[in-house]
Structure 1
Amino acid sequence: MPADILLLMVNLPPAFRERLSARFEILGPFPRHPSEALSPEQAGRVTAVVTFGSQVSDATLFDALPNLKLLCCWGTGFERVDLAAAKARGITATHNPGANATAVADHAMALMLASIRRVVPTDRYIRTGQWQGNAVTRLPVVRGLTGRRVGIYGLGAIGEKVAKRAAAFEMEIGYCNRRKRDDVAYAYFPTLLELATWADVLVVGPRADAVTHHSVNATIFRALGPDGHVINIARGSIIDEAALIEALQNNVIAGAGLDVFEHEPQVPEALRQLENAVLTPHTGAGTQEAREAMLEMTVANIEGFFDTGKALAPIPE
């Protein structure tokens, strides 16, 4: 049996274990702190961990695993990884940038269509037996996607793919980013408030950190306006959830499509009761193609690090 242990903090496909079982003894998944589940001897043999960026990986974890060398985030996010603590202990942290971008961008468009075209309420309209004739005479006519302005908050790998998909719907595209990009022709807005004032649809896609925490708030919703929709496929912490509920209840904005929430898996009852909110359980990356891409990149990070000392995609400092 291999001397080194690969510790899983998340439940990964069997193919992942198969790919690395010759190199590591694989233990887990342990979704919480593993110190109570591992013996001191086992903890000392853990050299690699795979986790979610939304799970806490800090000095407490690193202290419990004294020979940890590599921390791999399954996905692109790493907002709850203490990078300073990892660096201080000589631990390399990696992620999977772009691996799930196609799937998440597809899901953003699905939420956008569902919110704007009121797919969930009209589905319920049929299921509850209310459709008795020409639906046009009984349901409000809505404004479509063509000609709308979509503002993309965070034009990274996912945001860029959302922009390309929105262009196919003949939408006008603008973005707010940490810096202006010279390789795209979309309208650039230096502040989120300016973007929201211009946009009809706001797609939330920046990295979650202290700067973006609750950056989409009551002020942004008022700027977006009563015909506006907000789509969040990034992290729940970026939106002030209480302010969003109030904006939806009072028709400050028209609708929301949400795949992420502030305190997952808890979703406020008030939000679940709103007909102008489309809710999915953090499944934006839930495609076979995305799963396979993340598996390949995670394996490449691990093999590259232990074979050459260089991971494929270390988290930038």
Structure 2
Amino acid sequence: MTATAAVKPAILQIGSLLPVLENWLDERYSVSRLDDAPDAKAFLAEQGGRFVGVATSALYGVSAEQIAAMPALKVISCFGVGVDKIDLPAARARGIAVGNTPDILNDCVADTAFALLLDIARATPEADRYVRTGLWAERGQNSFHLGRRVSGGRLGIVGLGRIGKTIARRALGFDMDIRYHTRRPVADATWPHEPSLVELARWADFLVVITAGGPGTLHLINAEVLDALGPRSFLINVSRGSVVDEPALVRALVERRIAGAGLDVFANEPFVPAELLALDNVVLLPHIASATEETRRAMAQRVIDNLDRFFADGTLITRVD
């Protein structure tokens, strides 16, 4: 059966998706949106047997309970790279193919990491507020505090996958000294591998976190790592909020035990700890690292292409191992 056949494959959409993606799905498939059901569990209990595919996002994922309610499910196509909210063991046990959208967003996430790094080091958001509120006019030239130099600094990268390597390449333009931490050295990496995360934090001026989420990395950045980072260094997180022990980070920022942080992700999005909102040594973004028109459209296209390919020949363009 192909997506253009007279009988369109039945797809369950979990959560809201980019409008253009929803339009493309409607054109090709018979789509039901779980959000439209007054009672999602009751809907799946009654209708789950007819769905052969799921379109979802890294934000919503697919639970084991939802997978179990769809006995004919063959493929899950995810808008985003992160699959920590998809129950992969449940999918693998059933032989369900899972696709995501890697590579497409590497550049934009790396750009955002460096935007956060520059913003927090040079205090540009704070400086903007300083001008807008009239403090510069009131206090005069050279009244704003000094920032930190980025060029020539020491950059530690936690996770050296596709995006981590792209961040490292960005850093070369700033003449930065680069080291990285992963469980094992990356075969094609030209930068030094630091087997100890604590030692990497102790060495770095800037620690950028871009590792996968999930149980294996829960609170990887803990109080010990933050203490090693120290009062002259900065944390940048563009991975998942779960990777950082958020209460420990809040304490470290409030007590100025680290110099500052640039955060695109949080533990309980879209809610941010109130303490962070009052601090001037942290830059906060609403999880927008990949949020450009070009990248989001390309991600939407990959979701469709993965589904089209699967229903054509049973394969995916980008399959999660």
Is the TM value for this pair above 0.5?
yes
Q: Is the 8 A contact 2:76 2:96 kept in 1?
A: yes
Q: Deviations over 1:72-126 (max 9, x none)?
A: 2211111122212112223211111222111111110111111001012111111
Q: Which deviates further from its counterpart, 284-293 or 126-135? A: 126-135
Helix, strand or coil for the counterpart of 1:230?
strand
Helix, strand or coil for the counterpart of 1:131?
helix
Partners of 2:34 and 2:118 lie apart in 1 by: 36
Q: TM-score, normalising length from structure 2? A: 0.92
Q: Which amino acid aligns with 2:177?
A: E
Structure 2's unaligned 5+ residue stretches are 1-5
Partners of 1:133 and 1:167 lie apart in 2 by: 39
- Deviation, 1:20, is 4.0
Residue of structure 2 in register with 1:52 after alignment: 57
Q: Is the 8 A contact 2:82 2:212 kept in 1?
A: yes
Q: Deviations over 1:149-178 (max 9, x none)?
A: 010000111111111111111211111123
Q: Which deviates further from its counterpart, 64-73 or 276-285? A: 64-73
Q: Quick check: 1:315 aligned with 2:288?
A: no
Partners of 1:209 and 1:83 lie apart in 2 by: 11
Runs of 4+, deviation exceeding 6 Å = none
Q: Is the 8 A contact 2:153 2:177 kept in 1?
A: yes
Q: Aligned match of 1:172 in 177, 188, 207? A: 177
Q: Which amino acid aligns with 2:317?
A: L
Q: Aligned match of 1:304 in 278, 299, 309? A: 309
- Deviation, 1:39, is 7.8
Q: Aligned match of 1:26 in 20, 26, 31? A: 31
Helix, strand or coil for the counterpart of 1:151?
strand
Q: Which amino acid aligns with 1:221?
A: L
Q: Which amino acid aligns with 1:66?
A: P
Q: Which amino acid aligns with 1:283?
A: I
Residue of structure 1 in register with 2:211 after alignment: 206
Query: Pairwise mapping of residues 51-90 of structure 1 onto structure 2 (< 5 A)?
Result: 51-90=56-95
- Deviation, 1:283, is 0.5
Partners of 1:22 and 1:119 lie apart in 2 by: 45
Q: Which amino acid aligns with 1:237?
A: S
Q: Aligned match of 2:286 in 281, 284, 309? A: 281
Q: Which amino acid aligns with 2:198?
A: L
Partners of 2:318 and 2:294 lie apart in 1 by: 19
Q: Deviations over 1:239-258 (max 9, x none)?
A: 00001011111111111000
Residue of structure 1 in register with 2:115 after alignment: 110
Percent identity over the alignment is 39
Structure 1's unaligned 5+ residue stretches are none
Partners of 1:59 and 1:43 lie apart in 2 by: 13
Q: Quick check: 1:193 aligned with 2:198?
A: yes
Q: Deviations over 1:33-57 (max 9, x none)?
A: 83345682x4332111111234352
Q: Quick check: 1:35 aligned with 2:41?
A: yes
Q: Which amino acid aligns with 2:256?
A: N
Residue of structure 1 in register with 2:130 after alignment: 125
Q: Which deviates further from its counterpart, 95-104 or 175-184? A: 175-184
Q: Is the 8 A contact 1:74 1:294 kept in 2?
A: yes
Partners of 2:302 and 2:233 lie apart in 1 by: 37
Partners of 2:249 and 2:23 lie apart in 1 by: 44
Residue of structure 1 in register with 2:13 after alignment: 8
Q: Is the 8 A contact 1:257 1:278 kept in 2?
A: yes
Partners of 2:181 and 2:84 lie apart in 1 by: 20
Helix, strand or coil for the counterpart of 1:211?
helix
Residue 17 and residue 57 in structure 1: after superposition, are their counterparts in 2 closer, same or farther (change >3 A)? closer
Equivalences, count = 315
Q: Deviations over 1:125-168 (max 9, x none)?
A: 11111112786531222221011101000011111111111111
Partners of 1:292 and 1:31 lie apart in 2 by: 24
Residue of structure 2 in register with 1:101 after alignment: 106
Q: Which deviates further from its counterpart, 61-70 or 200-209? A: 61-70
Partners of 2:27 and 2:116 lie apart in 1 by: 42
What is the aligned-residue RMSD (CA, Å)? 2.1
Q: Which deviates further from its counterpart, 26-35 or 298-307? A: 26-35
Residue 306 and residue 3 in structure 1: after superposition, are their counterparts in 2 closer, same or farther (change >3 A)? closer
Query: Pairwise mapping of residues 140-155 of structure 1 onto structure 2 (< 5 A)?
Result: 140-155=145-160
Residue of structure 2 in register with 1:242 after alignment: 247
